């Protein structure tokens, strides 16, 4: 399945957002996720299915002003 | 003490964490500044997991974090980013930025007010990065903001207070509202000037991070903010056009009398 992760095309076998976060090797407790522009809370990732063409954002703490 | 949404802080310095030469210098600069509040952000996570290391560094400083929505250009983006920041940083505080124009990074004040109202409804405590417009300030307060953060000058410009008159006017109109000058400062004297106007705090990043010696500059700003606040509390004299002798005139020696 082809999806967009952080603006880049990505081929995945993950069926849910939680599985995608794990597949990418991110620390699930540190990152925040959004699906197609809407916030996807940590507790809802396992119940959030992915579909062809979905746009996923995975954000983490960074320096800011 | 300054108070922001029922949180009291002794330091009136809020320091940004971006653009330092190294993580160690960032840590040292936070310590030297005396700041108890630091701004942070969210960015796309790469494969290396750099986010966790940065977050550990910030937590080790003991500072309270104020996440921002930097880079957002629409209400939707800003609201989603704020929601993500609340989960990651575990705080209802959000420095709300909705940028309207790239050359000046000027806030889109219409979207800002709309996003502030929505985030307040969702339980956020919003610190809106705004222009110094009086009516926008009123709308932000009506939207639920309990802090206002007018710009001193465009982000990163180092120009200082572009419009002291307007900042003074805001202070006079909203005597009970915590006011923070956010962005555009370059020198400790700029920060002192804002504090002398009666502002409650200063938020800056670039002036410290990009200084030749960020740690020394963080300390200098910290001292200037304290000095400016003390000057304000001491109730300064009014400026006047003509001289007024400071030495008593009674009992002047004979050669000065006719």
Tell which of B84, B99, B155, B183 to mutate to test the A interface (max A CBs under 10 Å): B84
pLDDT band per the 50, 70, 90 thresholds, residue B116 = very high
Structure tokens at B178: 């915590």
Do residues B51 and A62 make contact, with C-beta atoms less than 8 angstroms apart? Answer: yes
**Residue B40: strand pairing partners:** A63, B67
ipTM for the whole complex: 0.95
pTM for the model stands at 0.93
- Using a CB–CB cutoff of 8 Å, tell me whether B23 touches chain A: no
Predicted local distance difference test score (pLDDT) of residue B52: 86
Strands B125-130 and B149-150: parallel
Distance CA B232, CA B198 (A): 6
- pLDDT tens digits, residue range B53-98? 899 999 999 999 999 999 999 999 999 999 999 999 999 999 999 9
- Closest Cα in chain A, distance from residue B69 (Å): 9
* B255: pLDDT strictly greater than 80: no
**Chain B residues within an 8 Å CB radius of A65:** 16-19, 39, 41, 68, 70, 155, 183, 204-206, 209
Distance CA A59, CA B12 (A): 30
**Chain B residues within an 8 Å CB radius of A30:** 49, 51-52, 55, 88
- For helices B109-121 and B75-89, the axis angle rounded to 10 degrees is 40
Q: CA of A39: which chain B residue's CA is closest?
A: B80
Distance CA B258, CA B256 (A): 7
Predicted local distance difference test score (pLDDT) of residue B257: 59
- pLDDT tens digits, residue range A1-46? 999 999 999 999 999 999 999 999 999 999 999 999 999 999 999 9
Strands A2-5 and B99-101: unpaired
Q: CA of A43: which chain B residue's CA is closest?
A: B87
**Chain B residues within an 8 Å CB radius of A64:** 16-18, 39-42, 67-68, 70
Cβ atoms within 10 Å of A50's Cβ, excluding its own:
19
- Considering only CB atoms, A59 lies closest to which of B19, B45, B183, namely B45
Residues of B annotated as part of the active site:
95
Distance CA B147, CA B34 (A): 21
Map residue B167 onto helix, strand or coil. helix
B52·A58 Cβ contact <8 A: no
* Strand runs labelled E in A2-54: 2-5, 8-11, 32-35, 38-40
- The DSSP-derived string for B180-207 is EEES---SHHHHHHHHHTT-SEEEESHH
Nearest to A37 by CA among A1, A7, A2: A7
Q: CA of A63: which chain B residue's CA is closest?
A: B18
Structure tokens at B113: 């007010």
DSSP B6: T
Nearest to B64 by CA among B119, B15, B97, B24: B15
- pLDDT tens digits, residue range B144-174? 999 999 999 999 999 999 999 999 999 999 9
- Using a CB–CB cutoff of 8 Å, tell me whether A8 touches chain B: no
């Amino acid at each position: 399945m082809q999806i967009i992760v952080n603006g880049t095309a990505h081929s995945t076998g993950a069926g849910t957002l939680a599985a995608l976060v794990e597949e990418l090797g991110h620390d699930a407790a540190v990152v925040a996720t959004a699906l197609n522009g809407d916030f996807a809370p940590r507790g809802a990732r396992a119940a959030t299915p992915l579909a062809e063409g979905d746009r996923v954002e995975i954000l983490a703490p960074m320096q800011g002003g | 003490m300054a108070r922001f949404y029922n949180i009291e802080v002794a330091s009136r310095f809020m320091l940004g964490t971006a653009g330092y030469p190294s993580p160690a210098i960032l840590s040292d600069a936070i310590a030297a500044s005396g700041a108890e509040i630091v701004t942070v952000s969210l960015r796309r996570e790469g494969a290396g997991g750099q986010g966790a290391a940065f977050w550990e560094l910030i937590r080790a400083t003991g500072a309270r974090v104020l996440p921002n929505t930097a880079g957002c250009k629409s209400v939707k983006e800003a609201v989603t980013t704020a929601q993500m920041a609340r989960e990651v940083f575990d705080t209802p505080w959000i420095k709300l930025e909705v940028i309207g124009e790239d050359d000046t990074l000027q806030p889109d004040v219409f979207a800002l007010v709309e996003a502030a109202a929505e985030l307040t409804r969702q339980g956020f405590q919003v610190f809106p990065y705004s222009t110094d417009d009086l009516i926008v300030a009123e709308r932000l307060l009506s939207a639920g903001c309990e802090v206002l953060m007018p710009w001193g000058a465009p982000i990163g410009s180092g120009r200082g207070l572009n419009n002291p008159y307007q900042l003074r006017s805001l202070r006079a109109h909203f005597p009970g509202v915590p006011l923070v000058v956010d962005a555009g400062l370059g020198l400790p004297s700029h920060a002192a000037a804002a504090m002398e106007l009666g502002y409650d705090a200063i938020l800056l990043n670039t002036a410290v991070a990009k200084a030749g010696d960020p740690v020394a500059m963080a300390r200098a700003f910290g001292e200037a903010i304290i000095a400016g606040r003390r000057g304000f509390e001491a109730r300064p004299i009014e400026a006047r056009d003509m001289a007024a002798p400071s030495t008593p005139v009674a009992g002047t020696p004979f050669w000065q009398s006719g």
